[in-house]
Amino acid sequence: MSLQRSRLTARVAYGGLGRPVEHGVVVMQDAAGDERILFVGEADEAERRWPDAVPKDAGFAMSPPPVNAHAHLDLTTMPFVEDAYETFIRAVIAHGRNGGRGLEAAKRGVAELRAAGTHTVGDIVADEVTMRWLLSEADVQGVAYWEVFAPDPADADRTFEDTVEKLRAFRALERPGKMRVGLAPHTPHTVSTPLLQRLARLAQANDLPMQIHVAESPSEVTLHATGDGPLRALMGPLLANFTPSGLSPVQYLADLGVLEARPTLVHGVQVDEADVRTIQRAGSVVVHCPRSNAALQCGRFPWELYAKHGATVAFGTDSRGSSPSLDVQEEVSAAAGQHGARANPAALVWSAVKGGHRALGSTPPRIVRGDPAEGLVTWRVQVHEARPVSDI
Ligand SMILES: [Zn+2]
């Protein structure tokens, strides 16, 4: 029987346990086509223990498959928008009115995810047909978050009752190894205060994963601070009953007790250090979508501030409407480009794998000796690091 061993060197080698190893090595053994992982760790140790293994270059990283912690699969056929956040929202509404959202787009989205090697996703779901398909048929794992959009406090009771009923029906469709049901109040300003509080308590009491877009655009910060600005102009009568708290969007959520449900916070771009501290203390994971943030002129995510305070960061692609692909590896590559030397390569990989599983409340894979080679993916993207630091 032919037995071949190889030592694959990567800028980052990660088996899902502990900290990713920089300039690490994966040792693989191929016994007549049956390829197994022998080791993930330090290069010196690999060379000492398997001196005869054939050295190979594996590029940027080898790790368990990265997680796409935030997507809108039902927007997969939407044309890509590179413009202000408010222009994007108008385009999403128009795309939906033209019948572009829904099951067929979500199916294409899942196919794109699988082609990119992603098995685990956090998806925001806006219609019941797509939700039922995701829970019972789609060949992906993760969380399908039911989206709630109800800015008028007068609608709070009715929307709450309706949401409870829908979630009950969706949960009955959950199957082991498939997607779980979650809850996604859209943003802190498009769900009224009483409803937001009730939804957060509901999620907490029922152990429902929750995800909310927050601190995405500069206009969101202005709206919460003063009640004015481009978002107010965009939403018009929808925000007729919105009263600004005068707080940052993150502090507003903290003030309402919403962070007690430990929601996963999507974007978290427009934050200050106090916000980051609040997020870390709450134990919420933040999903970083750098390409969407750049396309919609939302600013640069303060990666170094989250790192300084030890907050957990995951990666998401957001929708195809604001991102050129659903490939989370490309998202990480874009993040490295935006943050330059401020983002450590090992931390980027950790976030894409472990951070993603934490965001969705799932168990990350841990590679042990003898596991099949498929347990680790060799990243396709090149990640250029230590570029000159430049803000977008
Ligand atoms: Zn989103």
Q: Are 82 and 176 found together in one domain?
A: yes
Q: Quick check: is 383 in a domain?
A: no
Tokens found for residue 197: 């509080």
Q: Quick check: is 339 in a domain?
A: yes
Q: Are 170 and 25 found together in one domain?
A: no
**Ligand 1 ion: residues within 5 Å (CB):** 318
Q: Examine the pLDDT at 392 and tell me if it is beyond 90.
A: no
Under 8 Å between Cβ of 123 and 143: yes
Indicate the DSSP class of residue 341. G
The pLDDT of 195-203, averaged and rounded, is 98
Q: Are 78 and 94 found together in one domain?
A: yes
Residue 6's pLDDT band (boundaries 50, 70, 90)?
A: very high
Q: How far apart are CA 20 and CA 349, in angstroms?
A: 7
Count of residues for the chain? 392
CA of 213 to the centre of ligand 1 (A): 6
What residues does 341 pair with on adjacent strands? Answer: none
Q: Are 290 and 373 found together in one domain?
A: no
Q: Are 216 and 311 found together in one domain?
A: yes
CA of 154 to the centre of ligand 1 (A): 26
Q: Mark whether 216 is an active-site residue.
A: yes
Number of domains in the chain: 2
> Which CA distances in Å does 232 have to 189, 220, 237, 239, 267?
10, 9, 9, 7, 20
Q: Quick check: is 388 in a domain?
A: no
- Quote the pLDDT of residue 1: 59
Q: Quick check: is 264 in a domain?
A: yes
CA of 15 to the centre of ligand 1 (A): 29
Catalytic residue among 86, 112, 216, 331: 216
Q: Examine the pLDDT at 390 and tell me if it is beyond 60.
A: no
162: CB partners within 8 A, 6+ apart: none
At 334-364, the pLDDT tens digits run 999 999 999 999 999 999 999 999 999 999 8
Q: Are 36 and 90 found together in one domain?
A: no
CA of 134 to the centre of ligand 1 (A): 17
CA of 202 to the centre of ligand 1 (A): 22
What is the CB neighbour count within 10 angstroms for residue 205? 9
177: domain CATH number is 3.20.20.140
CA of 80 to the centre of ligand 1 (A): 14
Radius of gyration of the chain (CA): 21
Phi, then psi, of 57 in degrees rounded to 5? -100, 125
Question: Judging by DSSP bridges, how do beta strands 21-31 and 3-13 pair with one another?
Answer: antiparallel
The pLDDT of 295-311, averaged and rounded, is 97
- Of 10, 99, 124, nearest to 57 by C-alpha is 10
Q: How far apart are CA 300 and CA 132, in angstroms?
A: 36
Q: Quick check: is 288 in a domain?
A: yes
Q: Are 115 and 254 found together in one domain?
A: yes
CA of 350 to the centre of ligand 1 (A): 22
Q: Quick check: is 385 in a domain?
A: no
38: domain CATH number is 2.30.40.10
Q: Quick check: is 340 in a domain?
A: yes
Q: Are 287 and 306 found together in one domain?
A: yes
Amino acid at 330: E
How far is Cα of residue 312 from the mean position of the Cα atoms in its chain? 11
Q: Are 271 and 198 found together in one domain?
A: yes
Q: Are 263 and 290 found together in one domain?
A: yes
Under 8 Å between Cβ of 377 and 332: no
CA of 323 to the centre of ligand 1 (A): 10
Q: Quick check: is 391 in a domain?
A: no
Q: Are 11 and 133 found together in one domain?
A: no
Q: Examine the pLDDT at 387 and tell me if it is beyond 60.
A: no
Under 8 Å between Cβ of 296 and 217: yes
At 125-155, the pLDDT tens digits run 999 999 999 999 999 999 999 999 999 999 9
Q: Are 219 and 325 found together in one domain?
A: yes
97: CB partners within 8 A, 6+ apart: none
Its domain, for residue 37, covers: 3-63+368-378
